[in-house]
Amino acid sequence: MSFDLDLTKRLGDSDIACRIEPGEALTILFGPSGAGKTSILNMVAGLIEPDAGHVRVGGQILYDRTIDVPVAARRAGYVFQEARLFPHLRVRANLLYGRREGAGGLGVDEVIAFLGIAQLIDRWPRSLSGGEARRVAIGRALLSDPAFLLLDEPLSSLDRARREEIMTVIERLRDEVKLPILMVTHDRAEAERLGNRIVEMG
């Protein structure tokens, strides 16, 4: 499965355009801030409607001239730049929020083990480090039984040790879980290490 995108959008004074041919599983949108990378993720997720073009993932049409699949039905596992955990819910409840019952994806125990977060499940979000919160956010996305993952600057604002921790998680998602991943970064080293394909914007 892979991304097949041809999108254009006018936002304010900027024209955003992105074309991605079907190909490798982990695609990086690389470029400076303001290039429209996050807007592309939002169009794939269905949060912003393109002015023209199409969104296909694994051959399934999510958007074109006649089709606009609702956000919830697109099955996008979206990990935002901020972890966006619910502060009034402990980690386990955050993980279970939005979980699809009977989903064919990874189970709760599998996700907890995969991400190495068993020691975190009874903690409050405010007590987590940046890397821990990011792993929980990734776990919550995985438990929604996504067809693909959207990662918006998942390594931003992390120190070197936490960045390495999350890069290892992303590599395992790419190589073991094999979900199609569309990831945004402005860091060339991150892009070259993680991406099967790099699409430069801006």
pLDDT digits (tens, 9 = 90+) for 84-100: 999 999 999 999 998 87
Residue % of the chain over a pLDDT of 90: 79
Query: CATH number, domain at 103?
Result: 3.40.50.300
Q: How many domains does the chain have?
A: 1
Band of residue 33 on the pLDDT scale cut at 50, 70, 90: confident
Band of residue 101 on the pLDDT scale cut at 50, 70, 90: low
Q: Which two tokens stand for residue 127?
A: 């007590």
Query: Residue 190 contacts by C-beta under 8 Å, 6 or more apart in sequence?
Result: 28, 155, 167
Distance of alpha carbon 131 from alpha carbon 139, whole angstroms:
12
Q: Which domain holds residue 52?
A: 3-200
Bridge-based pairing state of the strands 197-200 and 26-30: parallel
Average the pLDDT over 71-93 and give the result. 94
**pLDDT > 80? residue 42:** yes
